[in-house]
Structure 1
Amino acid sequence: MTDQNQWQNQAWGTGQPQGAPAVPGASPAASPLQGQQAQPQPQARPTYAAPQPAYAAPVAPAPAPKRRGWIVGLAAVLAFFILGAASIASCTAVMTSSVGAFSYESSSWADTVTGDTVGVINIDGTIQYDGTTSSPEGLKAQLDAAEQNPHIKAVVLRVNSGGGVATAGEEMSRYVRDFSKPVVVSCASLDASAAYMISSQADYIYTAETSAVGSIGVIMSVTDLSGLYEKLGISVDNITSADAKDAGGGNRPLTEEERAWYQAQVDQINDVFIKTVADGRAMTEDEVRALANGLTYTGIDAVENGLADEIGTLEQAVAKACELAGIPDADTVHLQSSTSDLSRLLDIMGEQNEDTTTRALKELEDRVGLE
């Protein structure tokens, strides 16, 4: 689901979700939630996410490179930002930070092709608002470019993602659904949660036998640090306009009424997820709900239960895209990785050569207009 510290209207609206059930046992006068629009805290943002299986040994960390004083200072600022964002957003990997919208690279790939072409767009990593092709704004830019270019006859989405922010997944699924040319998905190792919500809108889905597919469901993480604060002798006094304004703020546990409120929102968003998949896969909502246990399926099982169409490779997905577009064959254009400024900065901090680091940071400084 960019202002990352705000819940997005697509998922939440500006107050109580439509159709959210009333909390049992709460009288109108006693409810701490009346008289205000519910504004959940960033700690309680719902997400679609799934763990990713891996067959690999841990990689030993690289030795820390030498850096000049200003580079160390920049690293310290970055570390402060990351730690601050992590403490605010809880310990959930799919929570996103409070940076503004990042830039995405130009879609010139779609403007230079000639002849019948299939465009391949990568959706890789967390679904969020960061400007890459794993974000609504980045994906839309590439789909719009492909839509407007008469030589691009179809698009293949190469998906390798465990999910992310619910609203971002919803928006991206709409862009795929409304795209006028054929869309074929090629699942890599993981196509789960918000990523699968997007994939479900394609015309055809290929998966590997060992891919992890599905994980239909919603999670909302609320961190309670009150016990830790007590041990450290820290007290927090919140001055609020309503009793529930600090719900999910981390300095106290949720009340039963607040928990029921958030559960109603999670259930409502899950219903949106299920309906989206049902519409995209030509299944009934009951059929999808029976599969919506929050877990992933192997590619083999996904083909059997209807979440995917066929076991196959990226090359087969391209061939299928040609078939759906009514062309015998086509050139293939792979979109270059679209990288956010934050991702670029993190890459820079791992550089081993001081001169390379300095030069790369200078390029980034020029790019974002730092003084």
Structure 2
Amino acid sequence: MCSLAFAHTTNKVGKEPNAMTNQEESPNPEEQEPEQEKEQQSKALLQKIQQLGQSQVAQAPDSNIHILPIIGQIEGHVQLPPKNKTTKYEHLIPQLIAIEQNPKIEGVIVLLNTVGGDVEAGLAISEMIATLSKPSVSIVLGGGHSIGVPISVATDYSYIVETATMTIHPVRMSGLVIGVPQTFEYMEKMQERVINFVTNHSNISEDKFKELMFDKGNLTRDIGTNVVGEDAVKYGLINEIGGISQAMMKLNELIQQQKGYSDEKVMQ
């Protein structure tokens, strides 16, 4: 009996130190949380340095204005090589629908620095911008070439910086082209769609736009015209020379005008 009792006591004594040891070794969840937060912060900081070259990035405050950048080449039905800087129209179209549906967004600024791209995709983006119920302003920075021209004039008001250019040229086709009259007729109809949109949404006349489009002496070994900032305003293609501050002031003015018009309708 004594031996059994002694063994039982020994087991109890032997278990207690083990239990205490396990409690000491197990980490405290409250102590782990600050360490995880520090690790996440350091990872986020490293990502900022890798992507932007700086540790602190200025954050835009909550605003009623949405910025829509259109840069590089406008990608349509065919995917471009990875080295190309592109704007995909399947990314822009959902954004434009979200802008229209979001009551917090009261205006849109379209920033353009594009070489052009797919004609149908560009016209689709242009039509969506033009049919927004909310005020919109565009700024051409660097370049608004080719199909970027209809997008730049699709907004309620347009600006171009002095050093920016816009290349106006006929519609081109890449890849296999069948040399039959139907092909050229199709290209002509597509070109007319571009001409009609630009002339309907800007102050340039159809004759002047066609003159710039088919000019033979402006571009080297090509047909078209490279229009610089002041000339784009002179021809009536763009409304005014200006940059970010002017565009923001104009958009806020348009937003206030729309609010006033809505208030009048409610009172009536």
Q: Where on the TM-score scale, by shorter chain, does this alignment land: which range?
A: 0.5 to 0.7
The structure number with the bigger radius of gyration is 2
**Counterpart Cα distance in 2 of 1:135 and 1:314:** 24
Asked if 1:304 is matched to 2:257, the reply is no
Give the 5 Å matches for 1:96-135.
117-129=64-76, 134-135=87-88
**Post-superposition, which runs of at least 4 consecutive aligned residues in structure 1 deviate over 6 A?**
none
243, 251, 267: which one aligns with 2:188: 267
Unaligned runs of at least 5 residues, structure 1: 1-112, 223-247, 328-371
Say which SS state the counterpart of residue 317 (structure 1) adopts.
Answer: helix
Say which SS state the counterpart of residue 87 (structure 2) adopts.
Answer: coil
Percent identity for Structure 1 against Structure 2: 31
Q: Per-residue displacement from partner, 1:91-133 (whole Å, max 9, x unpaired)? A: xxxxxxxxxxxxxxxxxxxxxx85x621111001111136x99
**Counterpart Cα distance in 2 of 1:286 and 1:275:** 11
Q: Per-residue displacement from partner, 1:294-346 (whole Å, max 9, x unpaired)? A: 3220011101101111111122212211111117xxxxxxxxxxxxxxxxxxx
Say which SS state the counterpart of residue 152 (structure 1) adopts.
Answer: coil
**Counterpart Cα distance in 1 of 2:239 and 2:142:** 16
Match of 1:50 in 2: none
Say which SS state the counterpart of residue 127 (structure 1) adopts.
Answer: strand
Say which SS state the counterpart of residue 213 (structure 1) adopts.
Answer: strand
Match of 2:39 in 1: none
Match of 2:122 in 1: 169
**How far 1:283 moved relative to its partner?**
4.2
Say which SS state the counterpart of residue 201 (structure 2) adopts.
Answer: helix
Give the 5 Å matches for 1:256-295.
258-293=179-214, 294-295=224-225
Greater fraction of residues in helix: 2
Between 143-152 and 272-281, report the one with greater CA deviation.
143-152
**How far 1:141 moved relative to its partner?**
1.6
The alignment's TM-score, normalised by the length of structure 1, stands at 0.45
Give the 5 Å matches for 1:335-354.
none
**How far 1:140 moved relative to its partner?**
1.8
**How far 1:292 moved relative to its partner?**
2.1
The alignment's TM-score, normalised by the length of structure 2, stands at 0.62
Aligned residues of 1:216 and 1:273 also touching (Cα < 8 A): no
Aligned residues of 2:159 and 2:238 also touching (Cα < 8 A): yes
Match of 1:178 in 2: 131
Q: What root-mean-square deviation, in Å, do the aligned CA atoms of Structure 1 and Structure 2 show?
A: 2.6
**Counterpart Cα distance in 2 of 1:207 and 1:259:** 40
**Counterpart Cα distance in 1 of 2:137 and 2:206:** 23
Unaligned runs of at least 5 residues, structure 2: 1-60, 80-84, 215-223, 258-268
Which of the pair has the greater relative contact order for Cα pairs under 8 Å at 6+ separation?
1
Q: Per-residue displacement from partner, 1:175-231 (whole Å, max 9, x unpaired)? A: 111111111111110101111111121111111111111414211235xxxxxxxxx
Aligned residues of 2:118 and 2:147 also touching (Cα < 8 A): yes
**How far 1:282 moved relative to its partner?**
4.4
Asked if 1:218 is matched to 2:171, the reply is yes
**Counterpart Cα distance in 2 of 1:133 and 1:125:** 5
Aligned residues of 2:204 and 2:237 also touching (Cα < 8 A): no
Aligned residues of 1:121 and 1:133 also touching (Cα < 8 A): no
Question: How many pairs does the alignment contain?
Answer: 183
Aligned residues of 2:203 and 2:236 also touching (Cα < 8 A): no
**How far 1:171 moved relative to its partner?**
0.8
237, 240, 245: which one aligns with 1:315: 245
**How far 1:159 moved relative to its partner?**
0.5
